[in-house]
Amino acid sequence: MRRQFTLFSVVAHAVVISAALVSQELAVGALPTPHQPVLYDFADITPIDIQLPRPALPTAPARAGDTASAAVSPDAAPTVVPTGVAPETGPAGMPTADGPVVGVENGARPGVDGLGIAAPALPPPPPPVKPIRLHQGMKAPYKIVDVAPPYPPLAQRAHVEGVVILEAVIDAQGHVASVRVLRSIALLDEAAADAVKQWRFTPALLNGEAVPVVMTVTVNFTLQDR
């Protein structure tokens, strides 16, 4: 029974659908009017006048012959030579057109700079240390370079020999600065002094500092050594 009802329902639906399709195909009435499209009428629109600002054109530089006066900044430098300006004066009302610079009288002076300000004085150099004689508490210089004097030929021929005693000043670097003969042998003095001037010593020390000293040295001339 249920099966028959289902078959009947299917047949009925098919008949209804077929009838609807056939009625559409066989219809002879007027076709439906399509919808009218939306059209814009520009005649009723009021135009809007839009004005864009024009860029400013660069102004031409002013020429010497132009009579038009432009606004000049009060801080701008003058372009026209003013008239009636008196020349500047230096010290005591002296003109400076052909004279020295204002603030400097007759040029720079010793100890004064170009602005007239006194320069600070340089400290004086330390006084030279005078040579002192060797004494206790000092470290005596030690000879590190010895030069033997040549025996003068004239003294050899005259069989002159002996000891020449000299006083030598040795500076803080150990060089022999000067020589003075204390005990002279005429034919031997010059050779002895020339030899002593070539000697070199270690510096003498006083409280750990090098100082110049005066010391006595001897040069012995003997014919047997020649």
26 — pLDDT class (breaks 50, 70, 90) = low
Given a contact cutoff of 8 angstroms between Cβ atoms, the answer to whether 214 and 177 are in contact is no
Give per-residue burial for 53-64: e unless 16+ CB within 10 Å, then b.
eeeeeeeeeeee
224 — pLDDT class (breaks 50, 70, 90) = confident
Average pLDDT over residues 100-108: 51
128 — pLDDT class (breaks 50, 70, 90) = confident
The answer to whether residue 182 sits within a structural domain is: yes
The pLDDT value recorded for residue 166 is 97
Distance of alpha carbon 179 from alpha carbon 194, whole angstroms: 9
* DSSP structure class, residue 89: B
Least confident of 93-97, 118-122, 197-201: 93-97
The answer to whether residue 88 sits within a structural domain is: no
Q: Is the pLDDT of residue 14 over 80?
A: yes
Given a contact cutoff of 8 angstroms between Cβ atoms, the answer to whether 214 and 141 are in contact is no
Q: Which secondary structure element, helix H or strand E, spans residue 183, and what is its range?
A: strand 176-183
Helices (H) and strands (E) in the chain, counts: 3, 9
The answer to whether residue 146 sits within a structural domain is: yes
The answer to whether residue 52 sits within a structural domain is: no
Determine the structural domain holding residue 215 and report its residue range: 132-225
Structure tokens at 175: 């060089």
Q: Is 139 helix (H, G, I), strand (E, B) or coil?
A: strand
The answer to whether residue 80 sits within a structural domain is: no
- pLDDT > 70 fraction of the chain, expressed in percent and rounded: 64
The pLDDT value recorded for residue 90 is 59
The answer to whether residue 171 sits within a structural domain is: yes
The answer to whether residue 77 sits within a structural domain is: no
User: What pLDDT, in 10s, does the model give residues 157-187?
Assistant: 999 999 999 999 999 999 999 999 999 999 9
The pLDDT value recorded for residue 157 is 92
Average pLDDT over residues 189-201: 96
154 — pLDDT class (breaks 50, 70, 90) = very high
The answer to whether residue 209 sits within a structural domain is: yes
Q: Is the pLDDT of residue 68 over 50?
A: no
State phi, psi for 178 to the nearest 5 degrees. Answer: -155, 160
- Number of domains forming the structure of the chain: 1
User: What's the whole-number average pLDDT of the chain?
Assistant: 78
The pLDDT value recorded for residue 108 is 54
Q: What is the CATH number of the domain that holds 158?
A: 3.30.2420.10
